[in-house]
């Protein structure tokens, strides 16, 4: 299996091209729909012929948008974007980039950030207006978060681990050896900007020196050493053992009673079968995560994330590995299919039906995230099987024996 972060920087296309792709409405006249299969097989290319300019690389990335399946219809709002289209802010010590509501206009609840810190480098001390949920993509980091009661949480997190920092709680992140880290940040505000956080360097730089002397109890000579502008990401020295840091700040007497980290990838799967697995983490198992619920899903080649919908929240996805496609059913006969790859972002409105299919030869691995304290989904298979047969037969025109072949239990992952 390829590593989860492999291929993260695989694609790099112009934002304008992506915007044009996302904004386009796909309509399907009946006459054209009848010939789509022939078009896909290359036996009838006249109707889909495009003699004008084409961005072939971008077109190849999303064949389902260029020649949609027969079942696509109507104008469905954009639900695909890629971090590889986002601007990267690069500083000495690492980089960051973000996908917000500006990029996916319907994503009002969640914004995302990917960030890289080299060994020893810091995402400086800060706090912000949104709750922060994170998934470690690569490497290791040391995190800290201060509670309002003065207790502090300090921990080391590795690939596959989570953290959750409540809004307004000051925190820090530092890359560890040997090669620092990379992680995904998820914020429960669609318009949240990573570049509008409250930084400790920024605050002291915009406070009169005499006031700083009074507040810190330091002489003017010390105040002159404070930063005069924001630092954001900057190099540092790889720290020593975790327990040394914990002891140095006061040990058990100042230790937080709340754990703000969780080992997601190493937990026992919530569901697992021949098609793959799903690990579900919400406030019922990760107590600190009050506003973000998530699932880490692995699909084997040919497997699907079953047809379902979420009754309580919109879904924001991050694709870590593999190649797949998703169709979003937006009601009133409207549906659209898009292809997804590593480092892509997907979005599904609350209660919209959808599935995800692994169309590649490697495992698909992706995260589903929701602005909610609990994960909740409705299985189409389970709904059909829980109905009296007369109702299901009348609606689907299936016989009793055919209905019995439909799985009768919720199974997030179905094999090929």
**Binding site residues for Mn(2+), as ranges?**
126, 128, 132, 171, 308, 310, 315, 354
Under DSSP, is residue 248 helix (H, G, I), strand (E, B) or coil? helix
393 catalytic? Reply is no
Q: Give the residue ranges of the annotated binding site.
A: 126, 128, 132, 171, 308, 310, 315, 354
Q: How far is CA 223 from the centre of its chain?
A: 41
Catalytic residue from among 368, 389, 393, 402: 368
How crowded is residue 400: how many other Cβ atoms within 10 Å of its Cβ?
10
Query: What are the start-end ranges of the H helices in 284-337?
Result: none
Phi, psi of 251 (to 5 degrees): 65, -145
Q: Torsion angle, CA of 40/318/119/281, rounded to 10 degrees?
A: -140
- Residues with Cβ within 8 Å of 144's Cβ and at least 6 positions away in sequence, in order, are 152, 153, 154, 171, 172
Residue 354 is encoded by which pair of tokens?
Answer: 């959808």
Count Cβ atoms within 10 A of the Cβ of residue 169 and give its class: 0-12 exposed, 13-18 middle, 19 or more buried: middle
89-91 vs 161-165, strand pairing mode = unpaired
Catalytic residues: 368
């Amino acid at each position: 299996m390829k590593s989860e972060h492999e291929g993260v920087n695989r694609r790099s296309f112009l934002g304008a091209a992506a915007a044009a792709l996302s904004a386009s409405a796909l309509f399907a006249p009946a006459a054209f729909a009848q010939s789509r299969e022939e078009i896909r097989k290359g036996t009838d290319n006249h109707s889909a012929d495009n003699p004008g300019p084409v961005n072939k690389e971008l077109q190849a990335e999303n064949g389902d948008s260029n020649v949609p399946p027969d079942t696509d219809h109507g104008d469905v709002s954009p639900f695909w974007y890629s971090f590889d289209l986002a601007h990267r802010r690069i500083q000495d010590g690492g980089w960051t980039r973000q996908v917000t509501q500006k990029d996916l206009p319907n994503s009002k609840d969640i914004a995302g950030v990917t960030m890289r810190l080299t060994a020893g480098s810091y995402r400086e001390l800060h706090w912000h207006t949104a709750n922060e949920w994170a998934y470690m993509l690569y490497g290791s980091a040391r995190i800290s978060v201060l509670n309002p009661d003065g207790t502090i949480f300090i921990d080391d997190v590795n690939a596959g681990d989570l953290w959750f920092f409540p809004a307004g709680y000051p925190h820090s992140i530092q890359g560890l050896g040997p090669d620092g880290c990379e992680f995904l940040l998820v914020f429960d505000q669609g318009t949240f900007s990573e570049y509008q956080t409250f930084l400790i360097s920024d605050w002291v730089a915009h406070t009169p020196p005499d006031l700083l002397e009074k507040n810190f109890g330091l002489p003017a000579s010390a105040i002159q050493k404070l930063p005069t502008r924001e630092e954001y990401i900057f190099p540092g020295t790889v720290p020593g053992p975790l327990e040394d840091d914990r002891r140095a700040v006061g040990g058990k007497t100042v230790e937080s009673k709340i754990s703000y980290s969780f080992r997601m990838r190493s937990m026992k799967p919530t569901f697992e079968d021949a098609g793959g697995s799903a690990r579900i983490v919400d406030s019922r198992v990760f107590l600190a995560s009050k506003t973000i619920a998530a699932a880490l899903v692995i699909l084997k080649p040919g497997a699907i994330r079953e047809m379902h919908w979420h009754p309580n929240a919109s879904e924001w996805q991050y694709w870590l590995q593999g190649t797949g496609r998703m169709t979003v059913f937006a009601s009133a006969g409207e549906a659209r299919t898009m292809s997804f790859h590593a480092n892509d972002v997907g979005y599904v409105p609350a209660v919209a039906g959808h599935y995800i299919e692994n169309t590649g030869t490697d495992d698909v691995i992706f995260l589903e995230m929701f602005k909610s304290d609990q994960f909740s989904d409705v299985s189409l298979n389970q709904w059909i099987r829980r109905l009296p047969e007369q109702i299901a037969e009348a609606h689907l025109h299936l016989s009793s024996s055919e209905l019995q072949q439909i799985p009768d239990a919720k199974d997030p992952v179905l094999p090929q």
